[in-house]
Amino acid sequence: MNFDHTEEQLRLIETAKRFVEEELYPYEEEVEKSGEVRAELRRQIIDRSLEIGLYAANMPEHLGGGGLDALSMCMLDRELGRANMALQYTVGRPSNILQACVGEQREKYLFPCIKGEKTDCLAMTEPGAGSDLRSMSCKAERDGDDFVINGTKHFISHADVADFVILFAATGVEPIIDKSRHRGPRKKITAFLVDMGTPGFMLRKGYDNVSHRGYHNCILEFDNCRLSSSQVLGEVDQGFEIANDWLGNTRLQVAAICLGRCDRAFELACEYAATRKQFNQTIGKFQGVGFKLADMELRRRAAQLITYQAAAKANANSNTNAAMSDMDAALAKLSATEALAFIADEAIQIYGGMGLMSDLPLERIWRDARVERIWEGTSEIQRLIISRSLLRPLENQ
- Is position 217 within any domain? yes
CATH of the domain at 302: 1.20.140.10
**One domain for residues 291 and 170:** no
* Listed residue (304, 384, 344) closest to 3, CA to CA: 304
Mean pLDDT computed over every residue of the chain = 92
pLDDT digits (tens, 9 = 90+) for 304-348: 999 999 999 988 765 555 678 889 999 999 999 999 999 999 999
Q: Read off the DSSP letter of residue 226.
A: E
State the residue range of the domain holding 87.
7-93
Per DSSP, the residues of 280-321 read TEEGGGSHHHHHHHHHHHHHHHHHHHHHHHHHHHHHS-TTST
Which whole-number Å values give the CA distances from 210 to 37, 165, 354, 364, in the listed order? Answer: 17, 25, 19, 9
**One domain for residues 164 and 226:** yes
**One domain for residues 188 and 225:** yes
The residue out of 195, 212, 237 marking a domain boundary is 237
* Listed residue (313, 367, 310) closest to 341, CA to CA: 367
Give dist(CA 32, CA 202) in Å, integer: 27
pLDDT digits (tens, 9 = 90+) for 13-57: 999 999 999 999 999 999 999 999 999 999 999 999 999 999 999
- Is position 98 within any domain? no
Number of structural domains in the chain: 3
Active site residues: 376
CB 313 within 8 A of CB 324: yes
**One domain for residues 70 and 132:** no
pLDDT given at position 374: 92
**One domain for residues 251 and 231:** no
**One domain for residues 80 and 176:** no
**One domain for residues 231 and 259:** no
CATH of the domain at 62: 1.10.540.10
- Is position 106 within any domain? no
Residue 296: what are its φ and ψ, rounded to 5°? -65, -45
**One domain for residues 172 and 218:** yes
pTM summary value: 0.91
Mean pLDDT in residue range 70-95 = 94
